[in-house]
């Protein structure tokens, strides 16, 4: 696997623009006052499927051969990646099969079903589902799509960072949530090619810290996965994104699940934004990093907004109890 280049990201931008709107970059007066910095939110939650992953699915399916599409496409997901692949398969005329853990987010399950995907439930955590998807791909000859080790997925999702820098060339720091790592890897590719002084900071739940540990130790690490934020709930680091971020990521922050829940409430009150757990993780990280970015121009990526009512209720309780 070869790391995508800035040229690949520009090519992806041209392709994706045929199918997706550009997402807004909005100044948040409330968060800026709280953090004593110039805070902007990149609203990936405004995409039609409610999450950044949609960019990568379109870029990947557009590049598959007719033979690959004809075999059918299979992947594993906790929701947003699966929606992305299902949507792209619908656009480009391929059969989509998504393997999910049995407790997958019901909103995302319904969305994948509505997009025409064949859903296969297996295991209790994401890595169980991923292993089963890989087994089915090998046994049946499907085109397997890894959620992170795909250069076309990374160059597709990297277009969000390209839009950020086009809209705010003076940006000094970008906070990005990390699960598998495609979004953070894409941010590093773009930011460091445009201006190495732009800091890219990854944020992950301490209750699913495999990506952080893999980056810290310089090798792929497995770790317990117990976070409620299914969009960043991975139990291991992945080769391609880790190889990209290992020497180009500026910092990595772990946050607790309650810090993520607090950030969900904060985004509602201060920025009129409804984020899912993964979508609020970068805000939680920025709050924890407040002293280091004071007075700077900062972009926080709101990666998705597909939150359940139960998750929202729990988050509001945490937010209210902390104020």
Relative to beta strand 25-27, strand 38-43 is antiparallel
Closest CA to 2 of 167, 152, 219, 115: 152
Question: Residues 280, 267: contact at Cβ < 8 Å?
Answer: yes
Matching residue, tokens 């064949």? 118
Question: Residues 287, 233: contact at Cβ < 8 Å?
Answer: no
Which residues have a catalytic role annotated? Answer: 53, 303
Residues, the chain, total? Answer: 323
Q: In whole angstroms, what is the distance from residue 123 CA to residue 135 CA?
A: 13
DSSP run (H or E) holding 66: helix 66-71
- Helix axes 182-194 and 6-16, enclosed angle (nearest 10): 110
Closest CA to 183 of 207, 211, 206, 209: 211
User: What are the start-end ranges of the E strands in the chain?
Assistant: 25-27, 38-43, 73-76, 96-100, 118-121, 143-144, 173-177, 199-205, 251-255, 297-302
Question: Residues 93, 86: contact at Cβ < 8 Å?
Answer: no
Strand order of the sheet with strand 73-76? 118-121, 96-100, 73-76, 143-144
- Indicate if the alpha-carbon torsion angle 65, 68, 74, 75 is positive or negative: negative
Q: Which residues of 23-40 are buried (b: 16+ CB within 10 A; e: fewer)?
A: bebbebeebbeebebbbb
**Partners of residue 175 on adjacent β-strands:** 201, 300
């Amino acid at each position: 696997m070869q790391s995508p280049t800035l040229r690949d990201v520009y090519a992806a931008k041209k392709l994706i623009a045929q199918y997706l709107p550009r997402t807004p970059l909005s100044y948040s007066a409330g968060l800026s006052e709280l953090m004593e910095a110039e805070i902007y939110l990149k609203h990936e939650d405004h995409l039609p499927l409610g999450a950044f992953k949609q960019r990568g699915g379109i870029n990947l399916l557009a590049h598959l051969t007719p033979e690959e599409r004809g075999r059918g496409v299979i992947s594993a997901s906790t929701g947003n990646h699966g929606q992305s692949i299902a949507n792209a398969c619908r656009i480009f005329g391929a059969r989509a099969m998504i393997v999910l853990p049995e407790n997958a987010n019901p909103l995302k399950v319904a969305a994948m079903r509505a997009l025409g995907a064949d859903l296969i439930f297996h295991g209790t955590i994401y890595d169980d589902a991923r292993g089963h998807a890989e087994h089915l791909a090998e046994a049946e000859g499907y085109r397997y799509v890894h959620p992170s080790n795909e250069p076309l997925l990374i160059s597709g999702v990297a277009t969000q960072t390209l839009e950020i820098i086009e809209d705010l060339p003076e940006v000094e720091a970008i906070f990005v949530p990390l699960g598998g790592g495609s979004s953070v890897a894409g941010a590093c590719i773009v930011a460091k090619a445009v201006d190495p002084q732009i800091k890219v900071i990854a944020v992950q739940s301490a209750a699913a810290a495999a990506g952080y540990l893999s980056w810290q130790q310089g090798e792929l690490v497995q770790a317990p996965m117990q976070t409620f934020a299914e969009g960043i709930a991975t139990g291991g680091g992945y080769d391609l994104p880790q190889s990209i971020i290992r020497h180009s990521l500026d910092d990595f922050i772990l946050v607790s699940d309650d810090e993520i829940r607090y950030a969900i409430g904060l985004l509602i009150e201060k920025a009129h934004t409804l984020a899912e757990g993964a979508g609020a993780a970068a805000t939680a990280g920025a709050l924890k990093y407040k002293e280091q970015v004071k007075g700077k121009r900062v972009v926080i990526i709101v990666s998705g907004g597909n939150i359940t009512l139960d998750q929202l209720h729990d988050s509001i309780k945490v937010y209210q109890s902390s104020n």
